[in-house]
Amino acid sequence: MAMAKQGFSQMAVSACIGGPCLNMLLGVGLASTLYILQAGKNIHMKLNGSLIISSAFLMFALCSHIVVVPLMGFKVRKWYGVYLFGLYVVFMIVALLNVTGVMSLG
């Protein structure tokens, strides 16, 4: 927020995407690598509905961001923020329906 207020809006948008991405890649990647090296065995993950929903919405949001932002000349407009907020609301509703058992994925 501070970067955007100082007029560095492009840097603020980059930080919003790059920061969490770096945290996930380093945090999960480094921890997984250390575990595999110490334990000497692979990590097995169970695929469940919450993971599928989260991954699908994340991929959809990132792909739309990769397509739409360059088309707008790298200037994020208000309507795009409303779109992303709406996408988040839809994600929360679908995730809550899955967790409560109303809708089941996997």
DSSP string, 20-71: HHHHHHHHHHHHHHHHHHHH-S-------HHHHHHHHHHHHHHHHHHHHHHH
74 Cβ partners below 8 Å, 6+ apart?
Answer: 10
Does the structure show a pLDDT above 90 at 48? no
- In this prediction the pTM is 0.67
Tokens of 19: 């920061």
Does the structure show a pLDDT above 90 at 104? no
* pLDDT tens, position by position, 3-42: 667 777 777 777 777 888 888 888 888 988 999 999 988 8
Tokens of 84: 């992303």
What span, in angstroms and rounded, lies between the C-alpha atoms of 95 and 7?
36
Identify the pLDDT of residue 106.
60
> Predicted confidence band at 86 (pLDDT cuts at 50, 70, 90)?
very high
Identify the pLDDT of residue 20.
82
